[in-house]
Amino acid sequence: MTTATAPPEQATSARSARGLVDLVFRARELSLVIALVALVGVTASVNGNFLSGQGIEDILLNTAILALLAVGQSLVVITRNLDLSVGSVVGLVAFVTGDLLASGWGIVPGMLLGVAIGAACGLLNGLLVSFCRVPALVVTLGTLYVIQGVDHYIAHGRQINAVNLPPGLLSLGNGAVLGVPYLPLITLVIMVAIGYYLRSYPSGREFYAIGSSPEAARLAGVPVRRRILVAYLVSGCLAGLAGVLWLARFGTVIADSAHGWELLVVSAVVVGGVAITGGVGSVYGAALGALLLTTIGSALVVLRVNPFWQQAITGALLLLAISVDRVLALRLARLLRNRSRHG
C-alpha cells in the first residue's frame, strides 16, 4: 500500500501561502501596537500624570480581566463560533464565590469552585453547539439570560462587601510582585500558554483548520465536535477565573457585575485581529485589542471626554476591524489563486 504525498512544488506553495497569511496578520498586530503607542503619547503630552506609576498600574489592572476573557473568546471565535455568555458567567461566579468566601470558605476552594462553575457553563454551551448543532449565537444568547436569571435569584438584591472577604483574596486583586500587579501576570501566563499551544501543537492548529473550513477539517480527520467543545470549555474556565479575579479586584459585588461585557470582549477580540469568520488570529492580538480598548477608556477619562464617546469609538473600531478583515481576506484569496494558477 502506497501513500500519496504532495509534490514538492505544492508543499512549497502551501508553506508560502501560510507564511503570507501569517505575515499579513502579524502586521495587523503591529498596527495595534503603533496605534497604542500613538494614543499613549498624545494623552501623556496633554496630561503627564497619564504615564505615572499609578496610571500605568490602573491600566494594567483594568486590562487584565478583559484580556483574560478575550483569550478564551478568541479560541471560540477561531473555530467560527461565538460565546456571548462570558459576562454573565463572570457576574455569577463573582457573586457565588464572594458569598461563600464571606461565609467562611477558604480562598483556594472558593477559586476552584468559581472555575468549576465557569467550566460547567462552557461545557453546556459546547455540548449544545457542537453535538446538538444549535447555532452558537442562539445558544450563548440563551445561556446569557439563563445565567443572569440564576444570578439574580441567588443574590435576592444582596451585595457582597469587601470588608467581609478574606484579606488574602483582596491582596491577590490589588497586590504586586516586583512592582507588577498579580492580575496582569496571571493573564500573561495563561495567554502565553494558550498561544504556544495553538501555534506549536497539531491539535492546536486544528482549531484554525475548523475555522477555515469545518467540512474540510472533518474530511481531513479532525475531531471537529470535540475541538469546538474544548474551545467552549476553555472559554468557560477562563470566564470563571475572571469572575474570581473580578471579586478580588473590586471586592464589592452585586448580581449584575460585568453586565454588557460580552460585547466588549467580542470587540476586543475582533479589533485584535481575530477574524469573526474564524480561522485567523491569535490570542496575543486579542489581548492587544483588550489593552487598546482599555487604554482608550482611560485616555478619555484623563482628557475629560464624555464617556459616551468610548462606546462610539469602540463601535467604530469594531466596524473598521471587520471591514479590514474582509478586505484582507478577499485580497489574500485573490493573491493565492494567482499564485496557484502560475504554479
Distance between the two ends of the chain, CA-based, in angstroms? 29
Residue 305 confidence (pLDDT) = 77
Residue 189 — pLDDT band, cuts 50, 70, 90?
very high
For residues 62 and 293, what is the distance between their CA atoms, to the nearest angstrom?
10
Could you give the CA distance from residue 45 to residue 133 in angstroms, rounded to a whole number? 52
Helix ranges (DSSP H) in 161-201:
167-174, 182-200
* pLDDT for the residue numbered 339: 63
Non-local (6+) Cβ contacts of 182 within 8 A are: 172, 173, 175, 176
**Residues 289-308: tens digit of each pLDDT:** 999 889 888 888 887 877 77
Overall average pLDDT of the 101-129 stretch: 95
Whether pLDDT at 316 is above 90: no
Give residue limits of the domains in the chain: 47-325
Q: Average pLDDT of the chain? A: 86
Q: What does the pLDDT read at residue 332?
A: 64
- The mean pLDDT of 33-62, rounded to a whole number, is 85
Q: Is the pLDDT of residue 233 over 70?
A: yes
Contact between 235 and 83 (Cβ < 8 Å): yes
Lowest-confidence segment of 31-35, 260-264, 290-294 by average pLDDT: 31-35
Q: Are strands 180-181 and 176-177 parallel, antiparallel or unpaired?
A: antiparallel
Looking at per-residue pLDDT, the higher value among 246 and 180 belongs to: 246
- Give me the CATH code for the 47-325 domain, please: 1.10.3470
* pLDDT computed for residue 192 by the predictor: 96
- Contacts by 97-105 with C-beta closer than 8 Å and gap 24+? 97/243, 97/244, 97/247, 98/160, 98/165, 98/247, 98/253, 99/154, 99/158, 99/160, 101/165, 101/166, 101/169, 101/247, 102/160, 102/161, 102/164, 102/165
208, 213, 219, 223: CA torsion to nearest 10: 40
Flag whether pLDDT at 9 surpasses 70: no
Confidence category of residue 279, pLDDT binned at 50, 70, 90: confident
Portion of the chain with pLDDT greater than 70, in percent:
87
The closest alpha carbon to 272, from 20, 83, 30, belongs to 30
Q: Which grid cell sits at 334?
A: 485573490
Q: Is 265 helix (H, G, I), strand (E, B) or coil?
A: helix
Q: Which of 41-55, 115-129, 168-182, 253-267 has the highest mean pLDDT?
A: 115-129
What's the rounded Cα separation, in Å, for the pair 95 and 111?
12
pLDDT at position 340: 62
Measured CA to CA, the distance from residue 100 to residue 253 in angstroms comes to: 13
DSSP 8-state assignment for residue 256: T
pLDDT in tens, 322-331: 777 667 666 6
150-176 pLDDT per residue, tens = 999 999 889 999 899 999 999 998 888
How far is Cα 238 from Cα 90, in angstroms, rounded to an integer? Answer: 9
Which one-letter DSSP state was computed for residue 131? I
Instruction: Please state, in angstroms and rounded to a whole number, the distance separating the CA atoms of residues 305 and 286.
Output: 26
